[in-house]
């Protein structure tokens, strides 16, 4: 089991790589979690698996009352700090770092809801079609981008794919791609012709070249330049670099492609329950945030396209 500090680092890294949060937001999470980690260390707690609900409750009280090194937090700051702790424990359980969520019963403070940022269809096309496909890295990057946008996969799900997953898919046009999501839940996602073609080209001409000179064999589908499995951070860097090359100035991460996948499906008339299944959400409530994105998009289009839209009160 990792120690508490490594647990914190892994979680903060996931906020950047998986969720695409801004530097400022991640810095705020880091400050809140530094206080929690320091508090745990003061109680001699170094293993995430040993944290109990009683520990979490005691920390919650400490935030309200303060101690010799910290002033009591105002209610808004305390709510933010508790959300950080709750999310850290949920991450630990989802990643298999702990066997229970010690913060599961913590009251959930009401927070403002941030709508996910989706790229436009034109931006997605510019991003993907701008990748050269004459080099092994270009073939890999095209296959990765097509897979992320074409299936709505989380970056962790994409980099966990093995060669066998892709060869099964390409062997039968009716098969979907098997993704293993949070809580080890499996789902099958249909894959369109663009992603299939990109994966096939990568498997035939890209991956074998990346395997040359590798020190050990690996079943991984997506490889780095050393021939090892591509990491989440590596995939994040690929998306950012390819976006910069395409001239896309909108902040982008692999998760932005997942957001775009869901938003574009709903814009195209897909049923929200279908999108829920494709994303692997346990509850449709999580998916409903994308309906708010779509409604906002409709209002923006109406406001700019209708000749008398300025008279409408919004």
Higher pLDDT pick, 140 / 23: 140
Location of structure tokens 């403002």: 112
Whole-angstrom Cα distance, residue 260 to residue 257?
Answer: 5
Of 199, 177, 200, the C-alpha closest to 190 is 177
Residue 198 has pLDDT above 50, yes or no: yes
The single-letter DSSP state of residue 99 is S
Over pLDDT 70: what percentage of the chain?
92
Whole-angstrom Cα distance, residue 83 to residue 27?
Answer: 14
Confidence of residue 257 (pLDDT cuts 50, 70, 90): very high
Paired residues of 180 in beta bridges: 186
What are the residue numbers of the active site? 154, 182, 255, 258, 281, 290
Of 124, 192, 151, 180, the C-alpha closest to 278 is 151
CA distances from 274 to 148, 190, 243, 246, 282 (A): 18, 12, 29, 31, 12
The answer to whether 148 and 158 have CB atoms below 8 angstroms apart is yes
The CA-based angle 251-252-253, given to 5 degrees, is 140
- 153-172: pLDDT as tens digits: 999 999 999 999 999 999 88
- 85-94: pLDDT as tens digits: 999 999 999 8
Location of structure tokens 């400490």: 62
The answer to whether 242 and 141 have CB atoms below 8 angstroms apart is yes
Query: Model pTM?
Result: 0.69
- Per-residue pLDDT, averaged over 205-226, amounts to 93
Task: Supply the pLDDT for residue 313.
Answer: 44
Q: How many CB atoms lie within 10 A of CB 113?
A: 7
Of 257, 93, 255, the C-alpha closest to 182 is 93
């Amino acid at each position: 089991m990792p120690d508490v500090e490594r647990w914190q680092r892994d979680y903060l890294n996931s906020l950047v790589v998986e969720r695409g949060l801004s530097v400022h937001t991640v810095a705020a999470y880091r400050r809140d979690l530094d206080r929690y980690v320091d508090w745990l260390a003061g109680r001699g707690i170094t293993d995430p698996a040993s944290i109990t609900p009683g520990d979490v409750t005691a920390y919650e009280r400490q935030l309200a009352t303060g101690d010799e090194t910290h002033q009591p937090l105002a209610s808004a700051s305390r709510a933010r700090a508790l959300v950080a702790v709750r999310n850290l424990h949920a991450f630990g359980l989802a990643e298999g770092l702990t066997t229970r969520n010690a913060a599961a019963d913590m009251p959930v403070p009401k927070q403002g809801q941030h709508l996910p940022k989706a790229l436009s269809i034109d931006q997605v096309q510019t991003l993907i079609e701008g990748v050269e496909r004459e080099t092994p890295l270009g073939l890999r990057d095209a296959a990765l981008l097509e897979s992320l946008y074409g299936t709505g996969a989380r970056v962790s799900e994409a980099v966990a794919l093995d060669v066998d997953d892709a060869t099964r898919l390409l062997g039968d046009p009716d098969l979907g791609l098997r993704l293993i999501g949070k809580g080890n839940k499996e789902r099958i996602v249909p894959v369109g012709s663009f992603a299939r073609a990109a994966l096939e080209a990568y498997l035939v001409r890209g991956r074998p070249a990346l395997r040359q000179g590798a020190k050990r064999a690996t079943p991984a589908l997506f490889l780095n330049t050393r021939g090892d499995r591509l990491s989440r951070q590596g995939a994040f860097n690929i998306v950012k670099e390819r976006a910069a090359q395409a001239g896309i100035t909108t902040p982008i991460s692999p998760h932005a492609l997942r957001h775009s996948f869901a938003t574009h499906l709903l814009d195209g008339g897909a049923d929200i329950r279908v999108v829920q299944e494709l994303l692997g959400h346990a509850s449709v409530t999580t998916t409903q945030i994308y309906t708010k994105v779509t409604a906002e998009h409709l209002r923006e289009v109406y406001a700019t396209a209708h000749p008398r839209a300025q008279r409408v009160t919004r």
